[in-house]
Every structure is written in C-alpha cells, then in structure tokens.
Structure 1
Amino acid sequence: MNKPWIKTYAPGVPAEIDDDAYPSVVALFDAAVERFADMPAFECFGRAMTYAEIDRASRALAAYLQQKLGVRRGDRLALMSPNIFAFPIVTLGILRAGAAQVNINPLYTPRELAHQLNDAGVETIVIFGGSTPALAEIIDQTPVKTVITHDLGDCSGLAIPSPTVDLRLTSTLRLADVLAEGARLRLDPVALGGDDIVFFQHTGGTTSLSKGAILSHRNLVANTEQFKAFLPEATEPGREVTSC
C-alpha cells in the first residue's frame, strides 16, 4: 500500500505501531501502577496523588458502581468535571467497572447537556457541584437516575471552597462518600478488549447538533503508542510530565 506520509516522518520513527500493545486503557494503567506505584501520577492544587492512590480510589469507585448501582459492561456514564483529581479517578473507575464514559464540558448550557445525556442514554452522571444548576434545569427531561457530585478539593486533602450543589437536585450522592463505601465492596474485574468502548466524545455542535464520536480502548492505546513513537524524547519512563 502506498503511504506517502511516511516520507515526512523523522528518522527513527517507525512506520507502524502496535495498537494492541495493551488490551485496554485499564491494562495500560495497571502496568504503570506496577512500575511506578509510589511516584506522582497527577498533581493539582500543589498536591500530588501517586499511581497507587489513584489505583485504590478508582477501584473503590468501580466497586460501588458495580455493587450498588448495578453498572455493567457497556453501560454509559457521564462525567462533567474540570481538570481536578476527581477526573482521572472517576474515569478509571468507570472503565474498571466495564462501562464507557461520556465526556461533558462542565460549562455546557442546560440545552447542550440535555442533548448529550439523551443521545448517549446516560443513567448515571458524576458532576462537579458548580455545574449542577445546568443539570437541575433538565434532569427530568433525561434518563438520568443517579447523580454523584464532587468538589474541587475531593481526594486532595485540602479544604478548598467549592460551589454548592443546586438545591433542586434533592437526591444526590457525594463522591467522597461513594469512595469510602466502595473501598469496602468487592470489585469484579472486567475482561476488557480493544473493541470495547472507552469514550463517547461529542463534537462541538457548531454547525448542527453535536454527535457522539465513539472511541475504543484500542483507539486510545494506539494514540499512546503513536505519541511514544513520534516523541521518544518526551516519554522517558517515570520522568515524563504532561500538562492538561
């Protein structure tokens, strides 16, 4: 097959990568935990969480989702959060439970939020307290049954002032409470493969209604391997730093 774009590759960049280097994003993270358990995985608000800490918290969430909410492989859960510690913990917890994550911009309007929740058939949403007014406006127009809220300081050990949950949402769970209870529950490992869905990533919706692009575990593993192939100088194991 003719691949003219390969001519633009820098010396040493391979023409092919192994998109099955890991069977899933969860397996990729597990491998990192095994190698770097006590090293910082994420930093936020001047604090760091190690790979082992993220691992424990995500397992607790996954156990809660499975045992208390009945989440099963292929279910779709939404996360509406800024870039704080809750984001990677919830993402890995959702994936460990075998579910797919619907990423939602925490600044979305009620109309935009309603469309994405309905389009993906979301029954559970994990949402930042500051975004709950938008959800309160439209929750009765969606299939959402369970709302888990989180604050800026969750999992950081810091008492950071955070917006309160909209009072119109009368039956919500707190992420901190969910993690505490989930730590005492059994996690049933899910054998995920490359074809399992990892994300529903909706388009911006600038020209029409936003559409949910489906990304598989293999897609994200391939992206990771591509990045490592193109920027080996930025991916020294255990020393690379990424800002997001």
Structure 2
Amino acid sequence: MAKPWLAHYDPGVPEHITYPEVPLWRLLEQSAQKYPDNVALEFMGYTLKYEQLWESVRRFGQALRSLGMQEGERVAIMLPNCPQFVIAFYGTLTAGGICVNVNPLYTPRELKHQLNDSGAETLVILDMLWPRYAEIAGDVGVKRVITTGIQDYLPFPKNLLFPIKARREKRWVSLPPDPKRHSFKTLLKNNPPIEHPHNSKPDDVALLQYTGGTTGLAKGAMLSHRNLVANTYQAIAWYPVKELEGKGVMLGAIPFFHVYGMTVAMNYGIAEGYKIVLLPRPEVKPCVEAIEKHSVTHFPGVPTLYVGFNNFPGIERRKVGTVKVCISGSAALPVEVARRFEELTGGKLVEGYGLTEASPCTHCNPVMGKRKMGSIGLPMSGVEAKIVGPDLQEMPPGEIGELAIRGPNVMLGYWNRPEETAKAIVIDWLLTGDIARMDEEGYFYIVDRKKDMIIAGGYNVYPREVEEVLYAHPAVQEAAVIGVPDAYRGETVAAYVVLKPGQSVTQEELDRYCRANLAAYKVPRIYEFRESLPKSMVGKVLKRELREQIAQEKVSS
C-alpha cells in the first residue's frame, strides 16, 4: 500500500522499528543495569533509584509466588500513580502473571464486573479503597488481597503526618483482620528478590486493559508483551533526540492504570532511564509545581490538563521552560490550546492518537517537522493505516470513512469475547470505530467517533468540528457537543460550555459567533453553561455520562 506519510517523518524516525522480543519487565532490568544510581521514581519527596526499584519489583514477584500465584493468573491493580503501582505492575510480570489495571474511582459494581470478567485471584488495592472491595468480596473469586497506603512510600515526617491528616479529613480506613489480606510493605520485607523472573514469550498476555466503559460494558483488551514492548519503542522512536537518554524527567501525572499513561509515561520513562515524577492525581497545581521543582522535560497529558495549565493563575511567571515535548492523547486537542501552551513553555505540544486496542499509540504529529493543527498526524513507525468504507474497501485521500490500522502493537483480541474480537479485527486490520480521513500527504484527521456522530435533519454533524469553533472563542474554557433527541430533526446539536474564570458571554453571542463560523445545519440549537463537565480520571469528557445527566435533569423537571 502507498505510504505518503513516510516523506514527512522527522529525520532519524525510521519506517520500521527494531524492538527486542523480550518480556516487558526486561525494559526495567536493562535500565537498572545501565543506570543503577539514577532516580527512577520520585513521589512527594521519596525517591527510589533504578537498582532499588528493580530489587523491589523482584521481591514483589517472589511474594506473589510465595502466596501461591500461578503462571497466567490475573493480578488486579487498583492504585493511583505511586511507587506501589510500578512495583506491583512489573513484579506481577516477573512472576508470570497477567496485570489487570483497575480505575481507583470504580464503584463496587464496576469493580465486581472487572474482577469477575478477568477472573482475577489477586487484588492489590489502596487501603482507603478497602470498603469498596469489602462490599462485593463475597461475589468475586479473589483469593488474596494485598493492601498498601500512600504513607508507605512517603519520606519522614510526611509518612507520620499523612494518617493524621487523613483521619482529620475522615478519609482514613482502619483495616479489619482478614485471612485473605496481606501487607504490601511486609511482603516486600519478608521475601527475597525472585531468582528467575518468568521468561514470558512475546505473544503471552501481559495486560488486560479494560475499554468500552464510556460506551457500554467494559471488555478486556489482551495486550501481549510484544504489543507493549513494541509500542514503547514506537513512542521512543518518534522523538529521535537522544541527548536526554538517562537524563530526562517524565511527569507521571496521567494515570498509569490508563493505557496511555502506562505506555507514554511509565514504560517510556523506564525504558529511557528517566526520573519519573509521580502525581497521584492529574491536577494542574501539582503539575506546575513539579515542572518547576524537577525541571520536567516530558509532560504527556490530555487536552483538559493543558487547558487547565494555560489558565492557571500566574502561569506566565512560572519557570516552566524546561518542557521539551508533550504528546496530547485521549481526546481531540483544540488548536488554540496547543498554540497557547507552546507560547508559555517554549516546548512542543503535538496531538497524537491511539486506542486501548493498540497499546495505545498509533499516530502522532512530527515533533520537529511539519505539524498540521487539528490532525492526529502520521502513522508511527511500524504502523500501517487506511480509511475504509462500509464494505471495507480502501478510500482515496480526502474521503471520509472508518480508520483501520495494523502493526505489532495491535491487541491479540478481547478477553473471552471471540465474537467481539472478530468484529474488531478483520484480516489483521483493527477497525477503530473512529470516522476519519487522510490527506494527500498522509496526515490523518479524526472527524469523530462513529457513535458520537449527530444526524440532524439528514445531515451528518461531527461534534469535534463544532467544539473546535467553540474552543476558539476567548471566553470558552471547555466545550462538549452532543446530539439530543428532536421530534422534527431526529437529533439536534447541543453545546455544553464551561467559561473561563472571570469571563462572560450570552447564548445569543455564542450563537452569532457559531453562525459566522459554521454551516447553518452544524450550528448548535441549544447552548447551556455549566460549572464543569463530567470527566474520567484521565480527564476525558464523558459524553455518555453527560447524556445521562441531561436525561435525568429532564425527568426531574
């Protein structure tokens, strides 16, 4: 197939990548051998060097084996970004287990589904989240629970002050005696490093990453060691500037339980021997402070995080000029947001694209070369992409269809869901469910999610296009556009807007602005101002939840 995008790769970015066919934990082992005294993790003043991290990981692997975990068993990890997450993740792999990333915000119902669907027999959980597990403990097949607290990896005196503060805020949980429960800290102390980490094959499953929770019942994408190793090297190859190897500083603000944070922050940072500054929540103030304090060079994030950064009070006076490169993922990056961020930092903020089923990165704009605002960029090294029509025939440049991709990073399939797998992967091509187009130069553009497209009066309206216009308005901080039922048009376009602090605009003014910038059928018929929009912990606007809120509000009124 023709690959016009290759002509626009940055110098040094290869068409194909050479990645080692090794278990994912080898990336950490290699960095520990190469940079033993480099700080690997920084967490609120507590630091772990690479040599220490690798030892802790092997101790955790041995602990799992001593508790009776067998090869191929699933270990669910329900933790925010903290040293324990990294140790549990890689430690599980050294013991031959399969990781299951669990969102710490999950309700008991959601946790129950994921534990039962994955068949996890081990759960690693933050002590404060114990009550959620306890509520469903009798309904799941978990044999052992490993608990840990934020205070376990805080320096003195923070480790003593944290429980006091948590009790005062009524967040402290006293753990009841339970024969199934084990202390993370005690297990590491009482177990020696595993002597022979499990030498998993490239196509063995390393991770069950659940997806589809925003659109329906979550299902587990089976990501192999090959998938995750390849995607880590694909991400590294995209920024071929090597003077930061072993010297970079990665801001670990985006959650590692999300596949984007896991690959682009955790695995990337560890493979390159970077210091990873861990933040348990992706909040703007700690991000700004961490950039200043640690001279952060890499700041992967999502659009809402960059919006917050741009609007942070006094940001113009903060020392944020160490940032070199940021890849924005998980949602569309508004043009105005990228422009302003680059003005403030002097670094590069490029829009990328990925999906859980591809580990997740597939496309990105060149960091140093020709970027096209509004585009997700070019297929990354080793990735092939095309636009297909309803009968899966390839569409020519400029035509709109469904984005299909293939490469070494594409999942094995969905866990215990062969029918869903057969719909998603057709003759080696992953059908993404995203409506897109490719231009003559091989740059791709997401027009919208297949499920989010609005059909109003027979016209196709793509919410992203309307949102781009709204984001360009000086008073608008965030915007979400969805279709709402309409007796005459079938659906009508509705815009839900969060204004910047201190700014004001009327519905009439926004309507005039949109009419000046959009075709009449695309102009929202409903404008509603909100204090906030529902978001996932990653910062992605949850349109399904927004629809549910609106439906509930109508019922209540």
Q: Which one has the largest radius of gyration?
A: 2
Q: Distance in 2 between matches of 1:204 and 1:166?
A: 33
Give 1:241's aligned residue. 249
Q: Distance in 2 between matches of 1:204 and 1:132?
A: 25
Q: Please state whether the residue corresponding to 2:2 is helix, strand or coil.
A: coil
What CA deviation, in whole Å up to 9, does each residue of 1:76-103 have, x standing for no partner? 1010001111111111111110111000
- Give 5+ residue unaligned stretches, structure 2: 167-171, 253-557
Q: Distance in 2 between matches of 1:235 and 1:106?
A: 36
- Does residue 9 in structure 1 map to residue 17 in structure 2? no
Amino acid corresponding to residue 12 of structure 1 in structure 2: G
What pairs with 1:94-133 in structure 2 (closer than 5 Å)?
Answer: 94-133=92-131
- Give 5+ residue unaligned stretches, structure 1: none
Name which structure has the greater RCO, CA cutoff 8 Å, separation 6+: 1
Q: Distance in 1 between matches of 2:233 and 2:107?
A: 35
Q: Please state whether the residue corresponding to 1:212 is helix, strand or coil.
A: strand
Q: Distance in 2 between matches of 1:27 and 1:235?
A: 22
Q: Distance in 2 between matches of 1:192 and 1:206?
A: 32
Give 2:328's aligned residue. none
Q: Distance in 2 between matches of 1:164 and 1:50?
A: 30
- Does residue 23 in structure 1 map to residue 31 in structure 2? no
Normalising by structure 2, what TM-score?
0.41
| CA RMSD in angstroms, aligned pairs only | 2.0
188-197 vs 55-64, greater mean Cα deviation: 188-197
Give 1:65's aligned residue. 64
Give 2:149's aligned residue. 151
- Does residue 164 in structure 1 map to residue 162 in structure 2? no
Q: Please state whether the residue corresponding to 1:2 is helix, strand or coil.
A: coil
Amino acid corresponding to residue 203 of structure 2 in structure 1: D
Q: Give the 3 Å change call, closer, same or farther, for CA 165–90 of structure 1 in structure 2.
A: farther
Amino acid corresponding to residue 64 of structure 1 in structure 2: A
Q: Distance in 2 between matches of 1:117 and 1:53?
A: 31
Q: Distance in 1 between matches of 2:194 and 2:209?
A: 30
1:171: how far off?
4.0
Amino acid corresponding to residue 28 of structure 2 in structure 1: F
Q: Give the 3 Å change call, closer, same or farther, for CA 98–62 of structure 1 in structure 2.
A: same
Q: Give the 3 Å change call, closer, same or farther, for CA 107–235 of structure 1 in structure 2.
A: farther
Q: Give the 3 Å change call, closer, same or farther, for CA 137–169 of structure 1 in structure 2.
A: farther
1:218: how far off?
1.0
Give 1:51's aligned residue. 50
Give 1:211's aligned residue. 219
Q: Give the 3 Å change call, closer, same or farther, for CA 63–213 of structure 1 in structure 2.
A: same
Amino acid corresponding to residue 119 of structure 1 in structure 2: D
Q: Distance in 2 between matches of 1:165 and 1:3?
A: 58
Say whether the 8 Å CA contact 2:76–2:115 is kept in structure 1. yes
Q: Distance in 1 between matches of 2:88 and 2:186?
A: 14
Higher-strand-fraction structure: 2
Say whether the 8 Å CA contact 2:45–2:154 is kept in structure 1. no
Q: Which runs of 4+ in 1 moved over 3 A?
A: 155-158, 165-171, 185-188
What pairs with 1:77-92 in structure 2 (closer than 5 Å)?
Answer: 77-92=75-90
What CA deviation, in whole Å up to 9, does each residue of 1:11-56 have, x standing for no partner? 331110123x251211111110100111100111122110111111
Q: Please state whether the residue corresponding to 2:250 is helix, strand or coil.
A: coil
Q: Distance in 2 between matches of 1:189 and 1:12?
A: 34
Normalising by structure 1, what TM-score?
0.91
Say whether the 8 Å CA contact 1:126–1:149 is kept in structure 2. yes
Give 2:527's aligned residue. none
What CA deviation, in whole Å up to 9, does each residue of 1:140-198 have, x standing for no partner? 11101101100102244441326325548564111011111113x75443112211211
